[in-house]
A = this chain, B = another copy of it.
Protein backbone atom coordinates (compact mmCIF):
# COMPACT_ATOMS: atom_id res chain seq x y z
CA UNK A 1 0.00 0.00 0.00
CA UNK A 2 2.83 2.28 0.79
CA UNK A 3 3.85 4.24 -2.27
CA UNK A 4 7.52 3.76 -1.54
CA UNK A 5 7.10 0.04 -1.91
CA UNK A 6 8.31 -0.05 -5.49
CA UNK A 7 11.16 2.41 -5.33
CA UNK A 8 14.00 0.20 -6.39
CA UNK A 9 16.39 2.81 -7.63
CA UNK A 10 19.39 3.19 -5.39
CA UNK A 11 19.49 0.23 -3.06
CA UNK A 12 18.12 0.62 0.40
CA UNK A 13 20.73 -0.77 2.69
CA UNK A 14 23.41 1.72 1.80
CA UNK A 15 23.84 5.39 2.49
CA UNK A 16 22.45 6.90 -0.68
CA UNK A 17 25.24 7.94 -3.02
CA UNK A 18 24.47 11.29 -4.64
CA UNK A 19 26.69 10.51 -7.62
CA UNK A 20 24.80 7.31 -8.25
CA UNK A 21 21.49 9.08 -7.82
CA UNK A 22 22.37 11.65 -10.45
CA UNK A 23 23.54 9.02 -12.89
CA UNK A 24 20.29 7.17 -12.31
CA UNK A 25 18.38 10.21 -13.52
CA UNK A 26 20.48 11.23 -16.49
CA UNK A 27 22.09 7.91 -17.35
CA UNK A 28 19.66 6.53 -19.90
CA UNK A 29 20.85 5.72 -23.38
CA UNK A 30 19.70 8.99 -24.94
CA UNK A 31 19.20 11.24 -21.95
CA UNK A 32 22.63 12.78 -22.11
CA UNK A 33 22.32 13.97 -25.66
CA UNK A 34 18.73 15.05 -25.17
CA UNK A 35 19.64 17.24 -22.22
CA UNK A 36 22.64 18.47 -24.13
CA UNK A 37 20.51 19.82 -26.93
CA UNK A 38 17.79 21.13 -24.67
CA UNK A 39 20.33 23.36 -22.95
CA UNK A 40 19.96 25.80 -25.81
CA UNK A 41 16.22 26.06 -25.41
CA UNK A 42 12.97 24.33 -26.22
CA UNK A 43 12.74 21.99 -29.16
CA UNK A 44 9.99 20.19 -30.99
CA UNK A 45 9.93 16.44 -31.06
CA UNK A 46 10.88 16.34 -34.72
CA UNK A 47 13.71 18.77 -34.18
CA UNK A 48 15.15 16.62 -31.45
CA UNK A 49 14.80 13.56 -33.60
CA UNK A 50 16.46 15.14 -36.59
CA UNK A 51 19.24 16.64 -34.52
CA UNK A 52 20.12 13.42 -32.81
CA UNK A 53 19.76 11.55 -36.05
CA UNK A 54 19.99 7.91 -35.18
CA UNK A 55 17.29 7.42 -32.59
CA UNK A 56 13.96 5.74 -33.14
CA UNK A 57 10.72 7.51 -32.33
CA UNK A 58 9.95 4.92 -29.75
CA UNK A 59 13.18 5.42 -27.84
CA UNK A 60 13.10 9.19 -28.08
CA UNK A 61 9.56 9.22 -26.72
CA UNK A 62 10.47 6.80 -23.98
CA UNK A 63 13.49 8.71 -22.78
CA UNK A 64 11.61 11.99 -22.90
CA UNK A 65 8.80 10.51 -20.84
CA UNK A 66 11.28 9.38 -18.23
CA UNK A 67 12.91 12.76 -18.08
CA UNK A 68 9.47 14.24 -17.78
CA UNK A 69 8.39 12.00 -14.93
CA UNK A 70 11.66 12.81 -13.21
CA UNK A 71 10.73 16.44 -13.36
CA UNK A 72 13.63 17.50 -15.54
CA UNK A 73 11.79 18.16 -18.78
CA UNK A 74 8.40 19.62 -19.52
CA UNK A 75 6.18 18.67 -22.40
CA UNK A 76 3.87 21.13 -24.08
CA UNK A 77 1.25 20.04 -26.58
CA UNK A 78 -0.19 22.60 -28.95
CA UNK A 79 -3.66 21.85 -30.21
CA UNK A 80 -2.86 22.44 -33.84
CA UNK A 81 -2.88 20.66 -37.13
CA UNK A 82 -0.41 19.25 -37.71
CA UNK A 83 0.31 18.56 -34.06
CA UNK A 84 3.20 20.30 -32.40
CA UNK A 85 4.88 19.20 -29.19
CA UNK A 86 7.69 21.07 -27.56
CA UNK A 87 10.08 19.98 -24.89
CA UNK A 88 12.11 22.17 -22.62
CA UNK A 89 14.03 21.99 -19.39
CA UNK A 90 12.08 22.60 -16.22
CA UNK A 91 13.45 24.66 -13.39
CA UNK A 92 15.03 21.52 -11.98
CA UNK A 93 16.32 20.69 -15.41
CA UNK A 94 17.93 24.08 -15.68
CA UNK A 95 19.76 23.40 -12.46
CA UNK A 96 21.48 20.58 -14.29
CA UNK A 97 23.31 22.99 -16.56
CA UNK A 98 26.58 23.04 -14.63
CA UNK A 99 26.49 19.25 -14.51
CA UNK A 100 25.88 18.83 -18.22
CA UNK A 101 28.52 21.40 -18.98
CA UNK A 102 30.99 19.55 -16.78
CA UNK A 103 30.19 16.33 -18.62
CA UNK A 104 30.52 18.14 -21.94
CA UNK A 105 33.78 19.81 -21.13
CA UNK A 106 35.41 16.66 -19.82
CA UNK A 107 33.99 14.75 -22.75
CA UNK A 108 35.66 17.06 -25.23
CA UNK A 109 38.99 17.09 -23.47
CA UNK A 110 39.19 13.48 -22.32
CA UNK A 111 36.30 11.12 -22.96
CA UNK A 112 36.32 11.10 -26.75
CA UNK A 113 40.02 10.37 -26.78
CA UNK A 114 39.78 7.69 -24.09
CA UNK A 115 36.93 5.95 -25.88
CA UNK A 116 39.12 5.50 -28.93
CA UNK A 117 42.14 4.30 -27.01
CA UNK A 118 40.09 1.91 -24.91
CA UNK A 119 41.17 -1.66 -25.49
CA UNK A 120 43.59 -0.74 -28.27
CA UNK A 121 46.30 -2.53 -26.37
CA UNK A 122 46.50 -5.62 -28.54
CA UNK A 123 49.69 -4.74 -30.42
CA UNK A 124 51.11 -2.90 -27.45
CA UNK A 125 52.57 -6.21 -26.27
CA UNK A 126 55.16 -6.06 -29.02
Contacts and interface: CB of A to CB of B under 8 A. Distances in A.
A102 B99 contact: yes
Nearest to A36: B19
Interface in A93-126: 95-96, 98-100, 102-112, 114-123
Given A32-B17, A71-B118, A107 B22 contact: yes
A43 interface: no
Interface in A24-82: 24-27, 32-33, 35-36, 52-54, 69-72
Given A14-B52, A24-B111, A102-B98, A19 B3 contact: no
Given A23-B103, A69-B119, A120-B3, A108 B18 contact: yes
A105 B27 CA distance: 16
Contacts of A18: 103-108, 111-112
A10 interface: yes
Given A7-B115, A32-B23, A92 B110 contact: yes
A19 B104 contact: yes
B107 A19 contact: yes
A19 B98 CA distance: 12
A125 B92 CA distance: 22
